[in-house]
Amino acid sequence: MADSSDRGDKPVARLLFKPRQKAKPVEPANEATEDTAPQSEQPSPEKPPLDQLRAFLANQNHMFTCGGSIPIVERPEPTKPQRAPTRDRLSNRLTTDEPRTSDPITIRWDVADMKGGTGQRGNPCDKITLPLAPGSENDIQRLLDGTQPATFGRGREDVYDETYRKALKMDTTTFCSTFDPYSLGIVDTIAQVLLPSIVDSSTHRSVRAELYKLNLYTSPSGKFKKHVDTPRSPSQFGSLVVCLPLEHEGGQLKVRHEGREITYDWGTSSTKPDFATIRWAAFYSDCEHEILEVTSGHRLTLTYNLYAMRGTGRLTGVSQTLDIAHLPLYQAVSNTLSKDPFDGKGGTLGFWCSHAYAFNDPIETPLPDTLKGVDAVIWEVFQKLNLNPTISAVIELEDEWHWLENWADLEPYKSDVEAHKLWELAVPTKQVAGKEFGVFIEQYYQELPESLRLNEIFTSWGRYLDEKTQWLTTPAPKSELQIAYAAYGNQASAETIYSHCAILVDFPAKGGA
């Protein structure tokens, strides 16, 4: 649950980075410097179109969360057949003209200790139905008795720390409920908003929702401070939270992405006309979120992990409605590229993804299926323009990580030739793009000079992005472990972790340039 930004610093902390102003101990021919040096500093004629595209991208506002509510309606006569479905004349699909409502929700759970007589009539499980019938509010105590303190992930451990998360939980092995996010249309809505299906795309994706936990945040001070959700597998792209009707105040869920924040305030009381309502929110699980303190009552939620799947999954009404060619972003990209921002010399165009992506499995390759928001759109735009985009984890070396800072550092190397060679073999650029996803683990041997060894690691993991690379966006501030290498044979363990990544398009140089 909690992020794990402290991971991975050690193995990559002593990277060789050659500061650019010190990068030329050997005088090369003049023309070679002319080609590359001015590009990053001075305005050049090819920059304005790319700058326009950068500004356009900076203003893209894509959904990172969606939510809704569904009234709970008790059917007066459970045996009475539902109103007969009618046939929609246009779509010829079965439909009802009633708004979507839910039956009351029953939760059943295992009763651990029978001695106290908590189970109903000696049964090994107990149940409640929400909303609670008037006068039966104290029944919630039985549910509380069936819960356990909720832990969360810190670093690589599950910890219980009430100052960070104060909540009670049930695992799916000990409870079940009649709530079904599919039949209520919630999964359809999430698919359309967070993983839209795109006309002509080779990526037909749908959503699978898997029940994860029952959570109870109770007053005083039930809360969960800001965190991102740990992905259970690389295909997990989001989380769904469903709040069932119990009286409470506070406990607002706040979801954030790139400076934007959406608040879901589900506080309610049984005197409100809309008390009998299910409220839900879904969000990309790399988006930071938190639950503010519950100031009275009990906030009861069911949480689901959301996975991207190929095909139509269990969606009821899959329709590929989004035509990329009609989006303004498509027009902006295609206009810019028609002017050849590389002026015939070729280069790489890079888009730092706006979201983080999970990886931990060398076999399962979840991308591009799990691309989120603007990342999915830019990928489809590049595809539509036949630009053959690739998605890579990209390491961005930070300036303070340099090791070979001064030419004088090479003093110990006996000959000038040896020193020059070493200098050239130091990391030539700040960015290395991985060939594929997955944590790359290398044993680190001491026999070779560190520069050679790290170069070997980088080049077997990926490729250096040269300084002609033009970035359309800036990288997200937080980046995570991409490569681990273990000193002295200690194997670093690889777990599911986030990776910031980029979508890259290579433009070959035009003939003779």
Ligand X SMILES: O=C(O)CCC(=O)C(=O)O
Interface ranges with ligand X (CB under 6 A): 1, 215, 224, 229, 241, 253, 289, 291, 301, 303
Give, in order, the Cα–Cα distances in Å from 228 to each of 256, 287, 437, 497: 10, 6, 20, 11
Element (H, E) at 328: helix 328-338
Between the two ends of the chain, the Cα-to-Cα distance in Å is 51
| Cβ 225 to ligand X shortest distance, Å | 10
Candidate ranges 54-62, 78-86, 153-161, 221-229; the one touching Fe ion (CB under 5 A): 221-229
Chosen from ligand X, Fe ion, none, partner binding at 197 (C-beta under 5 to 8 Å by type): none
| Cβ 174 to Fe ion shortest distance, Å | 20
Residue 369 touching Fe ion (CB under 5 A) = no
Token pair listed for 88: 């929609």
Chosen from ligand X, Fe ion, none, partner binding at 241 (C-beta under 5 to 8 Å by type): ligand X
Residue 286 touching Fe ion (CB under 5 A) = no
* Separation of alpha carbons 310 and 405, rounded Å: 48
Neighbour order of strands in the sheet with 390-396? 462-465, 431-434, 390-396, 497-507, 347-359, 470-471
Ramachandran angles phi, psi of 25, nearest 5°: -70, -30
SS3 content of the chain, % helix, strand, coil (to 5): 20, 35, 45
Nearer of residues 150 and 376 to ligand X, judged by Cβ:
150
Nearer of residues 250 and 350 to ligand X, judged by Cβ:
250
| Cβ 241 to ligand X shortest distance, Å | 4
Q: Are 171 and 213 in contact (CB under 8 A)?
A: yes
Map 422-459 to HEC letters.
HHHHCCCCCEEEECCCCCEEEEECCCCCHHHHHHHHHH
For residue 100, give the DSSP letter. P
Give, in order, the Cα–Cα distances in Å from 141 to each of 30, 51, 107, 146, 172: 80, 60, 14, 9, 20
Residue 229 touching Fe ion (CB under 5 A) = yes
Chosen from ligand X, Fe ion, none, partner binding at 336 (C-beta under 5 to 8 Å by type): none
The string of DSSP codes covering 140-176 is HHHHHHT-EE--EEETTEEE--TTTEE-EEEETTTEE
196 C-beta neighbours (distance < 10 Å), count: 17
Nearer of residues 147 and 451 to Fe ion, judged by Cβ:
147
Nearer of residues 253 and 315 to Fe ion, judged by Cβ:
253
Ramachandran angles phi, psi of 39, nearest 5°: -60, -40
Residue nearest ligand X, CB atom distance = 301
HSE of 379, CA atoms in CB hemisphere, 13 A:
25
Per rule CB under 5 A, count of chain residues that contact Fe ion: 1
Chosen from Fe ion, ligand X, none, partner binding at 170 (C-beta under 5 to 8 Å by type): none
Nearer of residues 186 and 198 to Fe ion, judged by Cβ:
186
Chosen from Fe ion, ligand X, none, partner binding at 147 (C-beta under 5 to 8 Å by type): none
Chosen from ligand X, Fe ion, none, partner binding at 305 (C-beta under 5 to 8 Å by type): none
Chosen from ligand X, Fe ion, none, partner binding at 301 (C-beta under 5 to 8 Å by type): ligand X
| Cβ 289 to ligand X shortest distance, Å | 6
Which residues does residue 69 pair with via DSSP β-bridges, in sequence order? 279
Candidate ranges 54-62, 224-232, 290-298, 441-449; the one touching Fe ion (CB under 5 A): 224-232
How many residues belong to the chain? 513
| Cβ 166 to ligand X shortest distance, Å | 12
Amino acid, res. 205: R
Crossing angle between the packed helical segments 328-338 and 373-384, to the nearest 10 degrees = 50
| Cβ 44 to ligand X shortest distance, Å | 47
| Cβ 111 to Fe ion shortest distance, Å | 28
| Cβ 501 to ligand X shortest distance, Å | 23
Chosen from ligand X, Fe ion, none, partner binding at 253 (C-beta under 5 to 8 Å by type): ligand X
**SS3 for 349?**
strand
Nearer of residues 194 and 484 to Fe ion, judged by Cβ:
194
Nearer of residues 216 and 404 to ligand X, judged by Cβ:
216
Nearer of residues 187 and 337 to ligand X, judged by Cβ:
187
**SS3 for 232?**
coil
Nearer of residues 2 and 484 to ligand X, judged by Cβ:
2
HSE of 498, CA atoms in CB hemisphere, 13 A:
27
Chosen from Fe ion, ligand X, none, partner binding at 444 (C-beta under 5 to 8 Å by type): none
Nearer of residues 253 and 337 to ligand X, judged by Cβ:
253
Crossing angle between the packed helical segments 47-58 and 328-338, to the nearest 10 degrees = 170
Candidate ranges 110-118, 228-236, 294-302, 306-314; the one touching Fe ion (CB under 5 A): 228-236
Nearer of residues 304 and 507 to ligand X, judged by Cβ:
304
Nearer of residues 126 and 229 to Fe ion, judged by Cβ:
229
Chosen from Fe ion, ligand X, none, partner binding at 291 (C-beta under 5 to 8 Å by type): ligand X
Please name which of 216, 297, 289, 215 lies closest in space to residue 249, comparing C-alpha atoms.
Answer: 297
Chosen from ligand X, Fe ion, none, partner binding at 278 (C-beta under 5 to 8 Å by type): none
Residue 126 touching Fe ion (CB under 5 A) = no
| Residues lying near Fe ion in the complex (CB under 5 A) | 229
